[in-house]
């Protein structure tokens, strides 16, 4: 049963009957929480056919529906808005439709493909808190698009070359003494990040020493021995120097192994990896072609630029005077390569922080100027930075909140709180550890995804793990509670068939509220995809869980003597549990059977 189609059909019949004219584009939206009803018809556009005021138009349509449709229990009018309360028979049919559909929340295949990029780290440091928001956001948007019927290609571009990589290499060469992840017991990405921090501290020390000897800060920054070594290593890398390439491959290999372990714990995956060390060459080739066509221009020092001033932007360098590429160069190459690899994609989505908004405006504009029509199908999924109660993070200074450390802390906090509640009787230690991981990661993911991606956010680990409030554990606990109810029903041999639901003639307000919410699931899926916003689903899952708890506290289940009502409430609980589980899965969050 498609409730939206049913409503539209009945309202169109009402408009035709009352005003003797048909309409196609009806505006139906969820009823505002302060008014009674589940669906609201916006009547202002109907005044063209009714030739009456919006309020009178709403009353006439509402009265016809009440008297003739059989789907409306009551209505109220607020100015030009017709708020409809559907009949209980409709809600019973809705429950039957949802409970009997094993694929509820999966829209049909629409034949379209989309590519979503996320993570895309540098190989000179481990992943941090900001990367967690990035990965969870990109992964969730990918899953939401799958649920909307798309074939999704999850990719990332690994920034594996450049001066920042050479900084870690230079510090290791000077101070590493052959240290490896195996010899040190340090995870590979953490070991390379350690030398990135050592580079920064050494560089600052050398600058201070040179300035004390009379050099300006600018000159000292150029002449510091360690930056000169890093710059020389970059030059040697571009010249394919065997020794430099070997060290680069070795240290990047350490990082990839470390990233792999982190991604596994995050629960994210990728279909294809792109590497800047490959795509920058294509980017340079495309830039030179653009130069020949007059799309770009060369300055006296030999650097290649694009002039975007007529488009309200500025001039942007694409190749430096020494012929080396910049980020924009490799991004041009990567975008073109991806559309060659996946020619059927309807667009590319770049999950990157909002500090890069200008970069992507420039990138998409350059691609358009190069003649790629698909450039208009590229979208920057911009998200705000994550702050902590202790302040901003800086990778160079080693003050970032490490992703691995934070995930472990969340696991430990979940273990501490769960053990304090004393609800682990009969649970093996192995299963208990799986539960702690599920709760800890659920708390972390939910907290980072519940905020609109565009907004900057403050992450509070202690708040995120709470069992009460707008948190992942609250929703997980609600799911576990429902599963306990379903297990009890099974132990009492209570079996629910479709015919059992037909015997219900009246519902409680909490039941109507819950059914209204779960019937909106597919619309929420569409909204989340349209806005690239998992926060819509996170908020939705919370509202469903909250409504179920109100139902549970106010309405008896197993104390209900009416067998039809008892079975209806079991079926309702089953449907709610499935919607919660499905919603949370699209956020990358598992929900426990017991908690």
C-alpha span between 348 and 379 (Å, rounded)? 6
In a domain, 49, yes or no: yes
Number of domains present in the structure of the chain: 3
Q: Looking at the structure, do residues 579 and 435 belong to the same domain, yes or no? A: yes
DSSP symbols for 142-205:
HHHHHHTT-EEEEEEEEB--SHHHHHHHHHHHHH-TT--HHHH---HHHHHHHHHHHHHHHHHH
Distances (CA, A) of 267 to 116, 159, 425, 587, 588: 16, 21, 28, 11, 7
The structure tokens listed for 447 are 């907290």
Q: What is the pLDDT of residue 184?
A: 97
- In degrees and rounded to multiples of 5, residue 383 shows phi and psi of -135, 155
Is 328 in contact with 363 (CB distance < 8 Å)? yes
How confident is the model at residue 390, as a pLDDT? 64
Output the pLDDT for position 399. Answer: 53
User: Are 489 and 580 in a shared domain?
Assistant: yes
pLDDT value for 33: 87
| 3-class DSSP assignment, residue 116 | strand
Show which of 226, 249, 266 is a domain's final residue: 266
Q: Domain of residue 168: give its range.
A: 160-266
- Which of these, 544, 546, 543, 557, lies nearest to 508 by C-alpha position? 557
* Length of the chain (residues): 595
Q: Same structural domain for residues 427 and 554?
A: yes
Cβ neighbours for 515, distance < 8 A, ≥ 6 positions apart: 91, 94, 95, 507, 572
Torsion of CA 564, 567, 573, 577, to 10 degrees: -140
Q: Residue 371 corresponds to which tokens in the numbers above?
A: 């003649």
247 domain residue, yes or no: yes
Per-residue pLDDT, 395 = 41
CA distances (Å), 114 to each of 40, 346, 351, in order? 33, 5, 13
Separation of alpha carbons 65 and 82, rounded Å = 11
Domain boundary among 266, 283, 311: 266
- The neighbouring-strand residues paired with 113 are 151, 345
Specify whether 17 is located in the same domain as 166: no
| Residue 298 belongs to a domain | no
Please report, for residues 247, 260, 338, 351, the alpha-carbon distance to residue 155 in angstroms, rounded to integers and kept in the order given. 26, 14, 9, 10
Give the whole-angstrom CA distance, residue 557 versus residue 567. Answer: 9
Q: Residue 394's pLDDT is what?
A: 44
Q: Residue 540's closest CA among 171, 140, 221? A: 140
Same domain, 62 and 184: no
Handedness of CA 177, 182, 186, 188 (dihedral sign): positive
Q: Can you give the pLDDT at residue 334?
A: 96
Question: Can you give the pLDDT of all 595 residues of the chain as single tens digits?
Answer: 789 999 999 999 999 999 999 998 899 999 998 999 999 999 999 999 999 999 999 999 999 999 999 999 999 999 999 999 999 999 999 999 998 898 999 999 999 999 999 999 999 999 999 999 999 999 999 999 999 999 999 999 999 988 999 999 999 999 999 999 999 999 999 999 999 999 999 999 999 999 999 999 999 999 999 999 999 999 999 899 999 999 999 999 999 999 999 999 999 999 999 999 999 899 999 999 999 999 999 999 999 999 999 999 999 999 999 888 888 999 999 999 999 999 999 999 999 999 999 999 999 999 999 999 999 999 999 999 988 776 443 444 445 789 999 999 999 999 999 999 887 888 999 999 999 999 999 999 999 999 999 999 988 888 899 989 999 999 999 999 999 999 999 999 998 887 777 778 899 999 999 999 999 999 999 999 999 999 999 999 999 999 999 999 999 999 999 999 999 999 999 999 999 999 999 999 999 999 8
Q: Does residue 577 sit in the same domain as residue 446?
A: yes
In which element (H, E) is residue 57 found? helix 54-68
Give residue 88's Cα distance to chain centre: 36
pLDDT value at residue 362:
97
Q: Do residues 439 and 564 share a domain?
A: yes
Three-class secondary structure of residue 347 per DSSP = strand
Instruction: Count Cβ atoms within 10 A of the Cβ of residue 25 and give its class: 0-12 exposed, 13-18 middle, 19 or more buried.
Output: exposed
Residue 172: is it exposed, middle or buried by C-beta count within 10 angstroms (0-12/13-18/19+)? buried
Please give the radius of gyration of the chain, using alpha carbons only, rounded to the nearest integer.
29
CATH number of the domain bearing residue 40? 3.30.1360.70
CA distances from 549 to 326, 439, 587 (A): 54, 19, 21
Same domain, yes or no: 464 and 549: yes
In a domain, 45, yes or no: yes
Sign of the alpha-carbon torsion through 479, 485, 491, 495? negative
Query: Considering the domain boundaries, does residue 471 fall inside one?
Result: yes
Closest CA to 323 of 363, 362, 287: 287
Q: Do residues 51 and 173 both lie within one domain?
A: no
Give whole-number Cα distances, 268 to 65, 155, 158, 312, 337, in Å. Answer: 48, 11, 15, 38, 23
In a domain, 544, yes or no: yes
Write out 492-540 in H/E/C secondary structure: CCCCCCHHHHCCCCCCCHHHHHHHHHHCCHHHHHHHHHHCCCHHHHHHH
The enclosing domain of 437 has a CATH number of 1.10.730.10
User: Token match 């549990």: residue?
Assistant: 577
pLDDT at 429: 94
Asked, for residue 36, whether it belongs to a domain, the answer is yes
Separation between Cα atoms, residue 489 and residue 483, nearest integer Å? 10
**Strand 457-458 relative to strand 386-387: parallel, antiparallel, unpaired?**
parallel
For residues 167 and 64, membership in a common domain is answered with no
- 374 within some domain: no
DSSP letter at 301 equals: T
Residues 498 and 580 occupy one common structural domain: yes
Q: How far apart are CA 13 and CA 376, in angstroms?
A: 40
Report the alpha-carbon distance of residue 320 to residue 304 in Å, rounded: 7
- Give the Cα separation of 254 and 161 in Å (integer): 15
424 shares its domain with 570:
yes
Asked if 214 and 138 count as a contact pair (C-beta separation under 8 A), the reply is no
The domain boundary residue, chosen from 86, 110, 128: 86
What is the rounded distance in angstroms from the CA atom of residue 528 to the CA atom of residue 367? 28
Residue (of 127, 121, 143) closest to 589 by Cα position: 143
């Amino acid at each position: 049963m498609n409730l939206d189609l049913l409503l539209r059909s009945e309202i169109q019949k009402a408009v035709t009957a009352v005003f003797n004219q048909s309409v196609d584009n009806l505006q139906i939206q969820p009823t505002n929480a302060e008014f009674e009803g589940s669906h609201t018809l916006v009547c202002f556009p109907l005044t063209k056919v009714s030739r009456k005021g919006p309020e009178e138009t709403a009353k006439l349509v509402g009265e016809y529906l009440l008297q003739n449709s059989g789907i409306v229990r009551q209505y109220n009018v607020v100015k030009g808005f017709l708020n409809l309360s559907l009949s209980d028979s409709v809600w019973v049919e809705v429950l039957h439709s949802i409970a009997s559909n094993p694929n509820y929340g999966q829209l049909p295949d629409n034949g379209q493909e989309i590519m979503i990029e996320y993570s895309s780290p540098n190989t000179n440091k481990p992943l941090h808190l900001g990367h967690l928001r990035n990965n969870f956001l990109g992964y969730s948007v990918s899953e939401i698009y799958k649920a909307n019927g798309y074939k999704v290609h999850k990719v990332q571009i690994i920034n594996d070359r450049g001066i920042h990589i050479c900084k870690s290499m230079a510090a290791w060469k000077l101070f590493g003494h052959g240290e490896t992840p195996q010899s040190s017991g340090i995870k590979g990405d953490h070991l390379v990040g350690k030398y990135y921090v050592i580079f920064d501290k050494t560089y600052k020390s050398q600058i201070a020493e040179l300035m004390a000897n009379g050099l300006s800060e600018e000159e000292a920054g150029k002449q510091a021995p360690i930056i000169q070594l890093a710059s020389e290593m970059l030059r040697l890398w571009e010249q394919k120097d065997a020794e430099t390439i070997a060290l680069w491959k070795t240290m990047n290999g350490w990082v990839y192994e470390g990233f792999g372990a982190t991604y596994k714990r995050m629960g994210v995956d990728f279909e294809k990896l792109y590497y800047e060390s490959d795509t920058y060459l294509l980017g340079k080739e495309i830039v030179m072609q653009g130069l020949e066509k007059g799309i770009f221009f060369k300055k006296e020092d030999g650097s290649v630029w694009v002039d975007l001033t007529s488009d309200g932007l500025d001039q942007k360098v694409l190749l430096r005077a020494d012929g080396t590429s910049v980020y924009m160069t490799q991004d041009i190459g990567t975008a073109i390569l991806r559309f060659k690899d996946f020619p059927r994609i309807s667009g590319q989505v770049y999950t990157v922080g909002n500090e890069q908004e200008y970069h992507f405006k420039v990138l998409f504009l350059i691609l358009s100027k190069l003649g790629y029509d698909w450039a208009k199908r590229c979208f920057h999924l911009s998200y705000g930075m994550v702050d902590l109660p202790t302040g901003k993070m800086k990778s160079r200074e080693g003050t970032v909140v490490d992703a691995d450390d934070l995930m472990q802390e969340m696991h430990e906090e979940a273990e501490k709180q769960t053990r304090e509640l004393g609800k682990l009787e009969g649970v093996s230690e192995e299963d208990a550890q799986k539960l702690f991981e599920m709760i800890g990661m659920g708390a972390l993911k939910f907290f980072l995804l519940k905020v609109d991606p565009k907004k900057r956010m403050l992450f509070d680990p202690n708040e995120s793990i709470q069992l009460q409030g707008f948190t992942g554990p609250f929703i997980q606990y609600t799911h576990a509670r429902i599963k306990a109810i379903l297990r009890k029903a099974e132990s009492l041999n209570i079996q629910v068939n479709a015919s059992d639901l037909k015997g219900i003639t009246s519902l409680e307000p909490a039941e109507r509220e819950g059914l209204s919410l779960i019937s909106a699931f597919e619309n929420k899926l569409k909204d989340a995809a349209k806005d690239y916003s998992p926060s819509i689903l996170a908020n939705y899952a919370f509202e469903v869980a909250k409504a179920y708890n109100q139902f549970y506290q106010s309405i008896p289940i197993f104390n209900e003597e009416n067998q039809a009502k008892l079975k209806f409430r079991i079926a309702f609980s089953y449907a709610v549990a499935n919607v919660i589980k499905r919603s949370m899965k699209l956020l990358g969050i598992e929900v426990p059977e017991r908690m």
